Amino acid sequence: MDNDTSAIPVIKEGDLAAEENKGGKEYVPRSKYNDIKAELKKYQDNEEVLRIKKLEEEGEYSKIIKSSNEKIDNLQREVDEWNAYKIVEKESLLKQLPKESIETFKDTGLTTLRKVVALYNQGRDNKTMEFGSPSGRESDSMGYNTPQEAARAKINGEIDEKEFRKIFNYFKSKAHR
């Protein structure tokens, strides 16, 4: 293979460290880092294309096939590892939810499931939300600030008549104090 260095990006000493962060330490700005990373990727891809062309000219198709199969195997291993990670992560997240909610969220994607678990944990920590209750609220007022909010929730089907009466009576008793 030729050692053609014309495709290699030339990086001057001052290019990478020209800017400084607030701490005074030298660093590579994200944009320059990404640009250099893209140039390196182009160079590596170009180098691979040249290697394959050279092997084709020499009739070394078995080496090309072997190289491609190795890439496929490596990528398949990465895919398998990622899928195993997703399964373990999903099981871990589902265990953090109440048993009655697991069935509801078992087919949910990881990103959404992480958000649901975070909301559940936040509500549990603040003692303002319980997934098991139909309204997702607890206490005498069940988290409603006014009887009108509770009425809207009843109309929207978020709470039933019994819960609405409980909340309404709470506000009614509060008004007579």
Amino acid at 90: K
SS3 content of the chain, % helix, strand, coil (to 5): 65, 0, 35
How high is the mean pLDDT of the chain?
Answer: 75
**Model-level pTM?**
0.40
CA distance 116 to 110: 10
Query: What's the CA dihedral at 167, 165, 135, 146 to 10 degrees?
Result: -40
pLDDT digits (tens, 9 = 90+) for 68-99: 889 899 999 999 999 999 999 999 999 988 88
pLDDT of residue 43: 85
Mean pLDDT of 27-50: 83
What is the band of 131 on the pLDDT scale with cuts at 50, 70, 90? very low
Residue 149's alpha-carbon distances to 43, 59, 123, 163, in angstroms, are: 62, 78, 19, 13
